[in-house]
Each structure stands twice: as C-alpha cells, then as structure tokens.
Copies of this chain bind each other. A is one copy, B any other.
C-alpha cells in the first residue's frame, strides 16, 4: 500500500507518494502555494499536484490508502479542518471535505510539528519506538509528541506547545504573551539575540570580527564559530545556550520519559560540539532512579522529507 503526504507550506505545496514499509518517498513534486488566493484554489492545486504525482508514479489508485496533510497552525484532526493558520490566513478551512471533491480517499490533517515527529518516529531518529518527542529549534520551538505511535496534541489538538512552557518565570517576553517561555531562550532566534548582546557587551570578542562589526550578519552559527576559535565570549554564549536547551529537555524527559528525544533545527549541524555537553547536563538533571533505561537524545534524520513522510504516516 501507498500513502500520499502533502506538506502545505506558506511558500510551496509539496506532495509525495510514500510506501508503507516506512518512509520511502517513491515520487514527489511541488508547486508554489501563492498564499494570497482563496483556500479553494490552494486546495484545488494540492489535489491536482497529487493526481499528477500519483500518475507519474505509475501506482494505481487502488493501491493508495489515504492522503495526509501537514500544515502549520491548529488543526481539528477529527473533523479534517484547519482551524487556524496565520501564515495562509486560514480560518476553519474544511480541507478534508474540499480535497475529497477531487480525490476519493480518506483525508487526514495535522500540524507540521506533529508530522515531523511522526516522520522521525516511523522512519527517522526514533524509528522502532512507540514513544518519542521531537523538538525543533528554529524561529520558535516546534514540538511533536508521539505516544503509542500516534501524534498527541490534546483534546482540542492545540497542545504539544512545549516551546511555550515557562522555564524562567517573569523572564524574557515571548510572542505568546507570557514571559520566560523556553523558546525565548532556546530557539535559534534566541541564540542570535544572545550572541548580539554578548558581542555588544564585549567589543573585543571574535564575534564582532566574524561579522565585520555588522550585527545584522549574526546568525545561529556565529557564537559556535567564535567558541571553536577559542573566543571567551563565544564560549560563554554557547555554554549558556546549551544550558537553556538542556533545562527544557530535562523538563520534557521528566514528564514524558520518551524512548528517544529528537532534536532538529540548523543548530544540530554543530554535532557533538552541541550534543556532548548537552547530554552531560541532561544526564545529571533527569529525575530518575538508577538501573532504569534512560531516554536517548538524537538529532533529527528526516530533513526536508519529514513534511511529506510525516503527513503520509497520518493515514497509517
């Protein structure tokens, strides 16, 4: 059997056919979303794209079991509705019903963070486990919780917002309205802000040289680059940033005790330079008795395929 996975983004719609053996994309394609259009047109394009992908793959419709759609925002998974997607300006869009006007298949909907977690769980870093959590350190913190092989996001599908748990009460202002959310300290955006601040306070830091004194050039790599060159300020920023990631991860482990905790996002390219000290702090902080098996921390493996594969897995 095969499963269609659609990754509905603000820039592109990607559709792919995924095999049931766990996560191989056998055929895929994409079109621009052109997000200013009415949802009916966007969904029509999703259906047309999917029909073409199926045709191109040579797989007969009888062998296709379902269509899964992953999209940012809040889904109503039960009723196949996108309740809210700020980027596409979707409000209560009946995406299942609309898709079924074109393709006579079961349609499943979930958000992109849940799809990413599902992809890691079925075919990536958490393959073979029933219970994992995937954390993506990006502009914010995306998180997906897999329990018994299924994405969990609460009775109204609006949960799994682990980035919006406070780790520093009355701390940094978060976009969500609270102060001190984990994502204000541990998202890639937070690292950039921390790097800029430290560079401004330490004019002699190599960070300033790496960006030619232009704070707009600071990115999530800059502090790591400086630290690796032996820069004291860079090391301080990186050390503190890893502490921030670790505090949130220990919280997640103490709550979920997932078999695998997957970390995604560009910062993972730092590899063991990030992971080794992170694992050390986590090991010391986790609330757990000796002799019990412990959560493994791994970096995400699915990359760009996560969107399509995870969405396809919604139908599995």
Contact = CB atoms under 8 A, between A and B. Distances in A.
Interface of A: 74, 83-84, 92, 129-131, 145, 147-148, 152-162, 164-169, 171, 176-178, 243-244, 247, 250-251, 253-259, 284-285, 287-289, 291-295
A254 B165 contact: yes
A302 to B, nearest CB: 21
A159 B291 CA distance: 15
Given A155-B295, A166-B247, 5 more contacts: A156-B294, A158-B289, A159-B254, A166-B251, A169-B244
Question: Secondary structure at chain A's binding surface: helix, strand, loop or mixed?
Answer: loop
Contacts of A254: 159, 161-162, 164-165
A73 B131 CA distance: 22
A76 B106 CA distance: 39
B169 A247 contact: yes
Nearest to A290: B84
Q: Which 3 A-B pairs have the closest CB atoms?
A: A154-B257, A159-B257, A165-B251
B83 A289 contact: yes
A312 B15 CA distance: 48
A250 B145 CA distance: 18
Contact of A255 (B129, B161, B247, B292): B161
Contact of A258 (B154, B157, B161, B258): B154
A284 to B, nearest CB: 7
B169 A155 contact: no
A257 B166 contact: no
Contacts of A171: 169
Nearest to A73: B289
A165 B165 contact: yes
